[in-house]
Structure 1
């Protein structure tokens, strides 16, 4: 078996960078360019600043880390910064919609790309469903806090943890329809909502610091204590099996144990890479947008954590109203109840932007995988709105059904494991491409790449080990289903396989015809004084347009033409000939036609008086000058007068001393 045959059947065939970016095969960048650097930052903040900023600090402070939760935020943020550096470098090399999926395709091969893409689909599909449910819970709470009455018939179908929910259905349906129709409102709406929630966060921080008490931060690292049963992680299971220890919370270990859950809040900077094809100058702007958005989110989360913990303290969280959003309940506890309503509005806006960005990213991943043939190719079709509407409707519809039929809130950690799994491949892809293709242009380079990549892999792996054993089991089942789908469909329909299966001797372009001999006209050119209207056009012998015998049934044969049909096709004549060009000049004796007798076939093969090629721009001395004074077609007055003075005709122009045309003239020197 030859190397080519092995590559065609090899699941590890790699996508060339030139094909991934469209520089070789073209046509891959079909999405509209709509994003600038500041739009990418807003996109990142739109997905990273969600409901977590209003509750996650309090939850982890009270259950796992204590007031030292600020350190946990910085640990999780540091791990995400390491991963963001890898995303930034690869986005500068491969600025395409697939993000981690496309990076893995180029660096490791097709089967690994499918695995990463399948994990991304699980992550984003579940995230959209979970967020729609949480949005419904917060919207219902906001209605209650503002005293808006809810009709009795809707009480059982809004704000539900599982089962049918009208609000969750409505928000997903609205976002999907907005994106499927290419609405420009999506980006504008994202800007307004992100700015509104940043203002709300600023008010939360400022108000919280007014009630700040340094005593609430002590002890900063509470003594360790055994963890509650039922939340065993993989790391706990491993340590218990080999060391006989039990998992703990608080203490130094609690600071690290809270980091994986906090990392869920930062997830979303990687989604900026899915907008690469829609960004102007993506190799430079996408890395800048990723890092700016992530660092901004880390600062905002840390500030909210300081304000919240300093306002309530670790022991104060147990006294808060469990029926309200944790941050809103904290403001009620200190006597700032009005801020609770503002927090409700901020939480609803925050979740709306997260849902919008997640659905955008989900459709771009599906679009990219379908474009490569690993998913059905029709999903990569662009609608008349210049967006992948089919991918949007399918992905959004799947999220909508999942949100209404599955208890998705119990599967929240699957979103985290899918993201961290992609982070591992992206970090490793940096080293793989530096080794395999060191000469690639990298507008952004990860500093100290070998050491930073190794640190990223270890840190991300450690976060994954801190996820529940049940989460790993569900993830294994999802990936097994994905491998089966790839073997059944994706491997056979892959565009890379079809490209490699193409015959190697297939011509990429038609061969050029030999030049005609001197003195002869090119095929299909009618000489001056040649056939008139209604006469057959002569054909060059042996060409594609040579006449054929009539087909059976009396219909004349038709030559194979590169332009046989179309809006301006002129039909065919008997004997297999095409009809005359309707725009060719008629003969001199045609009624009502004034022929410009100076026109001759021009070009290097124009016949001259001696049969040799003549100067294509030379004037025929036997033909009278049509610009000379006297009655001719250019003389309006029939008396030899030039209408606008002696300089009125081509080649002479209007000088300063000459009169302008009455209408000013359109084409003036």
Structure 2
């Protein structure tokens, strides 16, 4: 038991820049981190999720759902900010857990992050292909054999973006700046053009009366209540859980800490600023969406384009299409970057083959692990019905959120001597609240999602016991298991 609970000393987690372990070159500056966050947080969902949840779950109260989800993610973001300022390493929640709770828990979180990021890349690639085909059709071009074309597009985008991440981090960053700027212009156009068409009567009462749905309960919470509900406060909170998927991604900024100039100060600011900007934009688009069309008449398939067509602004359909394609392109790019950094950290700790931690001398990136990630993403997107498994991405993320929130509380008590570039205010109240809210969002997920997640984690634990436990660098006696007491200096 003491073997699997051994903890990584903070000096080993944060000694990367002094050559204690293999390290990555510094690349990002504060503004780059904001763009990185916006690149992954804001995808095509900004153009659709508000309308879909308003039509089916929350009514006009979807605006409250966005606020609730935004607050929940902000609480988690503050916790990530403190730990990433204390341990600026590419492993993010995996490394935080390694230092605070021990190796087996770190493996579990790392395994959950693999689920989150790998599945997310496949899901978004598949959605990108569908939206791209739709955008081409909206321009009046007939697309024969759409399913085959979609498969080809999935392959092309994943190969292209994997190549960009593997061969040049700087080119990927420049491309990210351009695409994020373009999609922000598209979002700005939606808000500016849509505002004059808002009819305040469409907002009605935010709290639409709850109704019981004629289907068996599917989420853990619905099973506890014995019924399936929509609208009312139950619908507002249920929509918040679904909307949390749209906010996911700010945590990936933490994986860039090792490559960031003055990371202890820059990473917390980058995460918080990108999440706040994304929240404001999501709320603005939600207000426009709900205000333009009564929620009972919103199209579930294409809510925003349908709304603009309903008010006679057909040309906005093309703006939305371009924004959605660019939005998902940046999401895929940043997801591959984040997944690469997590696996890179696990590999150099020895929990997965250390060969994956090799940094290319020519390209100065972890090329080998990037190519593996790209290959797996292609296989998942092409051969697995990933669009039906989106909640696996959410549960993997929320699971990591819970450990990060608990980690802030435990680290304050266990390692108060560590230098922190950022501190969560009102600790342990806010980290505790983050933990409670995260658990609440998790119980709104479907029971089937929990079952798949349990199977994935059980398989991961088996992999750790067979391979990771014996190959861990902490199994070597030359590395101390417990951190030395005293003030840690980076």
TM-score w.r.t. length of structure 2? 0.95
Secondary structure at the aligned position of 1:96 is classed as coil
Shift of 1:158: 2.2
Shift of 1:247: 2.8
Contact kept, 8 Å, 1:22 with 1:29, in 2: the verdict is no
Secondary structure at the aligned position of 2:387 is classed as helix
Contact kept, 8 Å, 1:194 with 1:350, in 2: the verdict is yes
Among 348, 358, 368, the residue aligned to 1:371: 348
Shift of 1:100: 0.3
Contact kept, 8 Å, 2:16 with 2:22, in 1: the verdict is no
Matches within 5 A, 1:230-629: 230=216, 232-240=218-226, 246-317=227-298, 320=299, 322=301, 325-383=302-360, 384-499=362-477
Secondary structure at the aligned position of 1:158 is classed as helix
Contact kept, 8 Å, 2:217 with 2:223, in 1: the verdict is no
Contact kept, 8 Å, 2:52 with 2:300, in 1: the verdict is no
Q: Which residue of 2 aligns with 1:146?
A: 139
The superposition leaves residues 399-439 of structure 1 with CA deviations (integer Å, 9 ceiling, x where unpaired) of 11111110001100000000000000001111111111111
Kindly tell me: are residues 111 and 398 of structure 1, through their superposed partners in 2, closer, same or farther at Cα, counting changes over 3 Å? same
Contact kept, 8 Å, 2:100 with 2:411, in 1: the verdict is yes
Contact kept, 8 Å, 1:18 with 1:24, in 2: the verdict is no
Contact kept, 8 Å, 1:321 with 1:329, in 2: the verdict is no
Shift of 1:76: 0.5
Displaced runs of 4 or more, over 4 A: none
| Larger RCO, structures 1/2 (Cα 8 Å, 6+ apart) | 2
The superposition leaves residues 194-248 of structure 1 with CA deviations (integer Å, 9 ceiling, x where unpaired) of 01111110110111111000000003211110135256100111222xxxxx232
Q: Which residue of 2 aligns with 1:85?
A: 78
Shift of 1:449: 0.8
Among 161, 169, 172, the residue aligned to 1:186: 172
Between structure 1 and structure 2, the one with the greater Rg is 1
Shift of 1:253: 1.8
Shift of 1:259: 0.6
The superposition leaves residues 566-611 of structure 1 with CA deviations (integer Å, 9 ceiling, x where unpaired) of xxxxxxxxxxxxxxxxxxxxxxxxxxxxxxxxxxxxxxxxxxxxxx
Kindly tell me: are residues 206 and 478 of structure 1, through their superposed partners in 2, closer, same or farther at Cα, counting changes over 3 Å? same
Q: Which residue of 2 aligns with 1:208?
A: 194
Shift of 1:347: 0.2
Kindly tell me: are residues 238 and 193 of structure 1, through their superposed partners in 2, closer, same or farther at Cα, counting changes over 3 Å? same
Kindly tell me: are residues 500 and 226 of structure 1, through their superposed partners in 2, closer, same or farther at Cα, counting changes over 3 Å? farther
In 1: Cα distance, 2:216 partner to 2:358 partner: 47
Q: Which residue of 2 aligns with 1:166?
A: 152
2:197 counterpart of 1:223: no
Shift of 1:155: 3.5
In 2: Cα distance, 1:405 partner to 1:444 partner: 43
Q: How many residues align?
A: 479
Contact kept, 8 Å, 2:12 with 2:20, in 1: the verdict is no
Secondary structure at the aligned position of 1:387 is classed as coil
Shift of 1:454: 1.2
Kindly tell me: are residues 155 and 124 of structure 1, through their superposed partners in 2, closer, same or farther at Cα, counting changes over 3 Å? same
In 2: Cα distance, 1:275 partner to 1:110 partner: 22
Among 48, 53, 56, the residue aligned to 1:60: 53
Kindly tell me: are residues 229 and 34 of structure 1, through their superposed partners in 2, closer, same or farther at Cα, counting changes over 3 Å? same
Kindly tell me: are residues 257 and 441 of structure 1, through their superposed partners in 2, closer, same or farther at Cα, counting changes over 3 Å? same
> Comparing 297-306 with 226-235, which one deviates more in the overlay?
226-235
Matches within 5 A, 1:17-96: 17-22=10-15, 26-28=19-21, 30-96=23-89
In 2: Cα distance, 1:329 partner to 1:239 partner: 35
Query: Which protein is richer in helix relative to its size?
Result: 2
Shift of 1:184: 2.6
In 2: Cα distance, 1:356 partner to 1:481 partner: 28
Secondary structure at the aligned position of 1:449 is classed as coil
In 1: Cα distance, 2:474 partner to 2:379 partner: 33
Q: Which residue of 1 aligns with 2:485?
A: none
In 1: Cα distance, 2:69 partner to 2:310 partner: 29
The superposition leaves residues 37-93 of structure 1 with CA deviations (integer Å, 9 ceiling, x where unpaired) of 110000000001001100000011111111011111000100101100100000000
Q: Which runs of no fewer than 5 residues in structure 2 stay unpaired?
A: 481-490
TM-score w.r.t. length of structure 1? 0.70
Shift of 1:388: 0.3
Contact kept, 8 Å, 2:217 with 2:228, in 1: the verdict is no
2:141 counterpart of 1:157: no
Contact kept, 8 Å, 1:371 with 1:377, in 2: the verdict is yes
Compute the RMSD of aligned alpha carbons. 1.5
Secondary structure at the aligned position of 1:467 is classed as coil
> Comparing 44-53 with 176-185, which one deviates more in the overlay?
176-185
